[in-house]
Amino acid sequence: MLLYSWEQTAWMALAAIAVDWLVGDPRWPTHPVIWIGRLVSRLERLLRRGEAAGARSPGRVRLTGVALTVLTVGAAFSVMLGIVLVCDRIHPWLGYAANVWFISTTLAVRGLKDAAMLVYRPLAAGDLPEARKYVGYIVGRDTTRLDEPEIVRATVETVAENTVDAFVSPLVFALLGGAPLAMLYRAANTLDSMVGYKNEKYMHFGWASARLDDALNYVPARLTGLLIVIVSLLGRGLSAGRAAKSIWRFASLHPSPNSGIPESATAGAIGIELGGLNRYGDVVSDRARMGWPLREKKRGDILLTIRICYGVSYLAAGGLLCAIIANMW
């Protein structure tokens, strides 16, 4: 942002990481993502009126989807910029505090850990129905018939993929433009999670949202892959060599241009195979296998994946701190 120097922005991003580690997702005030989700729902209803009757061609539907994307990310950026400017006008330190707080709400390392542990604890207690319930909160697939290895797979894939969406990407955009740009990214990511599906309802309407999310995550996903390899080099029970080879061998097989990188890296680092059959109601999807099945998946793999996610955040924070100190010299 023009308001702040790179060093100031880096300090704010570093402080935001610490806030996320300590606080996680705030219960009050209402999380910004909830407000973004409400905006998306209202705009979708407004823009798609008359569409159910078949009054719009696929091209017209795609155009309304573009409008949804532009309006949502534009509103998120503009509102956040307005808040930061007002706070900065009142006092520069209030501007810093606003940036730190709102950047922290775009990060979710603590939230990922908490969600994964809600699955892990009942697994450790032998309570499969409870584990299925909680894994159903973080994945879209049918979880009612999953056994323990499949519950573990679903959780590991979610944490690995969201290491990009919930940490590296928002951090990159925070460093480029403070809270306003980080919130723009979070709005794009929320759009993708709500309308970016390749089904009959959203194939055309969600096209712009899905493409924007892919574009914004392109560089951060590859940076995440590198960070996972480095974490694996430093962490016990992980293999950096397998992580790197797994990215090279399997990442491109994933239907997403980005998600395959953190998922394949994590699979290789841990020494398990991810991917396989997913059920979505009556639809069965066969996802490409990533990694090598050196052993059966077990609940401890959830803890290893959490360690990898936190390791990525530690490396990022350490790198930021080193860059700030070097810049001061």
pLDDT per residue as tens digits for the range 83-114: 999 999 999 999 999 999 999 999 999 999 99
Please give the pLDDT value at position 136: 95
Buried/exposed 145-179: b ≥16 CB within 10 Å, e otherwise: ebebbbbbbbbbbbbbbbbbbbbbbbbbbbbebbb
Phi/psi of residue 139, nearest 5 degrees: -130, 155
Beta bridge partners of 277: 286
* Tokens representing residue 104 in the block: 């922290």
- For 29-45, the pLDDT digits (tens) are 778 999 999 999 999 99
Contacts (Cβ under 8 Å, ≥6 apart) of 54: none
- For 284-320, the pLDDT digits (tens) are 888 899 999 999 999 999 999 999 999 999 999 999 9
Domain boundaries, the chain: 6-328
Q: How many CB atoms lie within 10 A of CB 191?
A: 28
CA separation, residue 164 to residues 17, 71, 106 (Å)? 14, 24, 12
DSSP state string for 154-215: HHHHHHHHHHIIIIIHHHHHHHHHHHHHHHHHHHHHHHHHHH---STTTTTTTHHHHHHHHH
Beta bridge partners of 290: 274
